[in-house]
Structure formats: structure tokens, C-alpha cells
Chain A
Amino acid sequence: MTTVTARAKDQGSPGVTSAIRTEGLRKTYKSSRGDVEAVRGIDLDIPQGEFFGLLGPNGAGKSTTIGMLNTLVAPTGGRAWVAGYDVTKDTVAVKRRIGVVTQNNTLDMQLTVAENLEFRSRFFGLPTGVAARRAAQLIDAFGLTDRKNAMADQLSGGQARRLMIARALVHQPDVLFLDEPTAGLDPQTRVNLWDILEVLHAQGQTILLTTHYMEEAEALCDRIAVVDHGKILAEGTLDALLADSGAQTVVTVRYEEQVPDGLAERAGLAERPGVTKVEADGDQLRVFAADPEGVLGDLVSIGAANGLHVRDATQAKPSLETAFLALTGREYRE
């Protein structure tokens, strides 16, 4: 891996060289109150041109992982390469080839929209005139023409996010990193951004996106890694994730009372055709079923026969949410 050529993108063999590769990547933050293991051994292999999603709840270690790939967080274990360059040894080579949209607004508030793009272009070595043209091109493409002379701190949330993506693209990066790009945006703006990302992806842009929105990962990503507590729980295409997690409709009934021990087994639901798994979880009974027909009614009557009163019931179709539930045994917390 260490001998991977730098500009494999030019060799016209997408998929051969990894855009991003990690081996047992770890980050432990030391503090006086004890160590915090933010990332606990992550292995990734993302080919060029792929739209890859790191999906997980807040605090799962996604931003720390992106930070390590961006050279701004020093790994405490494992290795990582971006565009073939080691993120700890060749930081400048890595920074030259990545575009980063951080979760926090890192726009230069003392500059205008156009200046943000012009100076970033010049940081990456474009001559002044070329930088100005590149900025104009980006402003036009991202629909910021009306705001080009506004100071960066006068932008709305959606405009700021668009400008940050535009700024990450000035130098034609090999890999575009997006850390929670639509967090805090209204639905219209979010869909608008999704459209932009799809066009970029269609042009062959490699994208690594983190999100805690399941529907975002479902809508955009070629492959998804489900991350929690600093580890990858499952990885693959959406279809593969759903299939691997025994993807089923999940029927959950919550009772007023705690579910007695052993009821899940005694009830005989697991023997029903189409049912793969039955779980008791506190006051809930949860059934994973390929064919959920009649399961809900059974859960209600089993409860009634055991003195349990139904509080509420849900039936969720197979989705990343049900996959997460199957992987972790826990509800997805956004």
C-alpha cells in the first residue's frame, strides 16, 4: 500500500487505487478524568469515485475519524492513507489533495464570500487572476451570485454551507470530506445540497460523508459503514446491510409493565414462519420478521394472556433504522 502512486486518478483506473484506506485506526484522548477512546480500530477501504457514508449517532467517533484523515487529529494507533499518502507522515501531500467541509462554520468571517474563495484558491497556488475566475465559477455554480460581496458572517445557514462546499472544491480535491453537511439545515436546503452532492458524485468525485441522518446515508451513499462507540458495526451497500442484518420488518410492542423473563421464548413466536428473532427489552417485545403479517396481533394477545397492557406499538419497514436496531439491539439515537 505504501507504494501506491500519487496521481492514480490520472491513470484512468478507478477502483484500483484506494482513495482512503485505514488499518486499525485509533484515537484515544488523554485527559485528567481518564482516557476517552473516541475511535477504537477502524478499517476502511474506499475506492476512487465512491460516495461513502459513515453513519452513526452523535459521539460515535465519526468526526474524529474524519479529523484523522484530514491530518488535524493525530491518530494514537493504526495507519491511514488518503490518495495514497500517509496522513501522519505526508500531511502536506494529503492536504493538497483533500477538500474538507467541517461541521463547524470555519468560513473566514473577516472576508467576503468571493474573497473566501479567492484566497483559498491562492492558498492552493492558483495565480490571482485564475483564483478570481475560479471563485466566480464557484459562486455561479453554487447560486451565491447575489451574496458574493456579503461578508461571510452575514450568510444564512444554507448559504454558509454551500460556500463551505464551494471552498472545499477550489483546488479540485481527490477526496471531498463532508462532516454532517446538512445538520441544522431546513429540509428544502438539505435536499438542495443533496442534489449538488449527487452531481459532484456523478462527475467522479470521491466523497466521504458523515451523517447521523439515516435517510441521508440511504439517499446518497454507494456504501455505508454503521459506526457506534468508535467501531464499525457493519459495512456495505444499503441492500447488503439490510440483508446482512437479517433485514426485516421490526414489530415492537411496548407494555405498561416489564416483560417477564423468558416470555419471549415461551411465547413461541420464534417458531412462526417468517420470524427470525424475538427480543425482550425491558417493557418491550420486539420481533424481526420477513413476513410481519399477524405478528402485531399476536404480541397484543400474548401480552394480554400474561397480564401485560399495551402502551404503544410500532411496525417499521426494513431500513437502516431497523438494521441498526438488529446490529446493536438498541434504538437509534440521533
Chain B
Amino acid sequence: MAITANKRPGKPADIGSASGDDAPVAASVAALITDAPVPHPTLWKTFAAMMAREFRVLGRNAPSTFIRAVLQPLLFAFVFAYVMPKIGSGFSVAPSAAGGGAINFATILVPGLMGSMFLMQGMFGTTMPLIMEFSWQRTIEDRALAPVPIGVLAIQKITAGAIQAFIGAAIVFPVVYWVHAPGQGPHVHVNNWFLLAVVMVFSATLTASLGLWLGTVVDPRKIQMIFAVILLPITMLGCVYYPWSALHAIRWLQIITLINPMVYMTEGLRAALTPGLGHMALWAILLALVGGTLVFGTMAVRTFRNRVIN
């Protein structure tokens, strides 16, 4: 240990002479300083590069991402639109408006299943990576040192999660279209594409904001709790399997579920996909989806910044 004083080497670096063959070469290390491109970062360039990084990772994990995204709707559609009708547990709801004829469960399930996918994919897309990035190696510091405010990094994470949520929900369409018992296909008709787009975009950003917020406020060691205490009740009581209006029979539940963000997603999708089935007032749906995105998004940006900056 005891190295004597004045050992300070003034020697020219002779890198590589005594070291292994993968050792760096002095001249090329020096060139890193003398021959370097001049960077001109802007907020948008950095944001775009971060999004490109997300897509590179998603592309690399495409098989597992796809399986994760497709398995849930596949199983749901298989059980509810194929198995149940086949074994005679047919389920139908009388149409509230002049829809004509009984409505099969697949029709009710499409909006509900999409809402559930928004939640699952939006949270998987934000909460889970965050748990990794805030774990003991704190790899979040890598992205946090990019030349943008920390809030932009949070918004980028919401955007990336929202895109995954959007894709995850869209996968529901082909699955329920193909997987059902004969004559049990969903009756879905889009009259208002704009409404569908608005509902889907804000459902995606709402779940991603919610995911980022939870990922920053919940202790990583208790993350399983999120799934038991938050994800499960939100899904089960999110009007996935029945329209909100059908809850009028249980008034107290109908009122309590109004705090559940997923209710507005599924009801918004019903308004866009199966308007004949009846749905909550459109203004309430849009207010909750847009307002919820803003509220949870703002909270998430703040808590994210507090977690990144010590």
C-alpha cells in the first residue's frame, strides 16, 4: 500500500504495450478529444432519441412483448366468447336503447377487455421499468443526465407507456374478431372514429401516468402489493364485464366505482364502439379521461423528479 511520495508519473502513456490485446491505444484515446463531433442537443432531438431507444428495446423484446399483449385478450375471448356459449352459460343483456335483439357477451366484453388491456400494458410499460431503474444500481441516472429537464424524461416515459398501452388495447380487436363460437362474434360498429381516437389516446395516457405515479411513490419491495390492492380491484370493478348503467341495481357500488379511472375508459369505449348498449354521459367520460391524465400526469412528473433528484 505505502507508495512513496512523488511517484506522480510524467511518463507519456504507453498504453497497450504491457497490457492485454484488448487494451486501448493511446493515439485513439487522444483522438476522442481532438477529433470529436460537436453536439447540438435540443429538447426534441433528445426526446426523439429516447423514444427511438424505447422502440429499439421493444423491437428486441418483440416476441415476449407480443405474447404478453396477446395472451390476456386471447384467453378472455376464448373463455367468454367460445367456451361459455358452447357450454350453455350464455350471457346477454337487454339493450337499453333500440338496439334490437339480445346482445352477446363478446359485444360487452370488447370495451371492457380493451380497458383492462390499457391498464395492464400502460402499467407494465411504465411501472415495471421504473422499479428496475430505481433499484440499487439506479440506472435511471443514465437517462437523467441527458441534457433535458427531468420533467421531460417523465413525460417521455408516459409517452412510451401510453404507446404500449395503445397497441395492447388495439390487439383486442383482431383477437375478439377471430376467437368466438359460431354466431357469438361481437357486434361492434364505429360511428365516430374521432371519439374512438380521443378515448383511446387519453385512456392510454391516463394509465401510463397512473403507472409512472405508482412506480415513483410505491416502495419497490412492495410492488406486488400494487397488483393485489390496486390493479385487481380496478379491473374487477372497472365495468369490464358489465356496463356501468347496469349497476343501477346496486346504487352504492355504482357511486363508489366513479372513483375508478377504468370505468371511464370502458364506458368511453362503449360510447365509441357499442353506442346502442348505453353508456355514461359523454361529458363525464371525457372530463374524467382528460382531467385524470392531467392530474395523474402532473403528480407523476413531480414525484418522478423527487425520486431522481436526491
Contact = CB atoms under 8 A, between A and B. Distances in A.
Contacts of A130: 37
Interface in A294-334: 316-319, 321
Interface size class for chain B?
35 or more
A67 B149 contact: no
A199 B15 contact: yes
Nearest to B47: A123
Given A138-B32, A215-B3, A321-B2, A123 B22 contact: no
B95 interface: no
Interface in A57-107: 67, 70-74, 91-92, 95-96, 98, 100, 102, 104-107
Contacts of B26: 195, 199
Contact of B19 (A74, A137, A192, A247): A192
A122 B22 CA distance: 26
A36 B146 CA distance: 29
Interface stretch (A142-150, A227-235, A253-261, A284-292): A142-150
Q: Is the interface of B mostly helix, strand, loop or mixed?
A: loop
A92 B147 contact: yes
Contact of A123 (B33, B138, B146, B150): B146
Contact of A104 (B24, B38, B138): B138
Contacts of A111: 53, 56-57
Interface in B22-36: 22-26, 28-36
A108 B5 contact: no
Given A218-B8, A239-B6, A317-B2, A72 B37 contact: no
B219 interface: no
A126 interface: yes
B229 interface: no
Given A108-B142, A199-B15, A146 B22 contact: yes
Contact of B30 (A125, A203, A214, A239): A203
A318 B3 CA distance: 9
A196 B27 CA distance: 10
B56 A115 contact: yes
Contacts of A317: 2, 4-5
A110 B54 CA distance: 10
Nearest to B35: A137
Contacts of B61: 110
A111 B142 CA distance: 13
A219 B41 CA distance: 36
Contact of B145 (A100, A119, A215, A219): A100
A105 B4 contact: no
A122 B52 CA distance: 9
Interface in B128-160: 136-150
Contacts of A124: 39, 41, 46, 146-147
Interface of B: 1-9, 12-15, 19-20, 22-26, 28-42, 45-46, 49-50, 52-53, 56-57, 60-61, 136-150, 308-310
Given A72-B308, A111-B57, 13 more contacts: A29-B310, A105-B139, A115-B53, A119-B49, A124-B41, A124-B46, A141-B32, A191-B19, A192-B15, A192-B19, A198-B9, A198-B13, A218-B3
* A-B pairs with lowest CB-CB distance, top 3: A125-B41, A122-B49, A141-B28
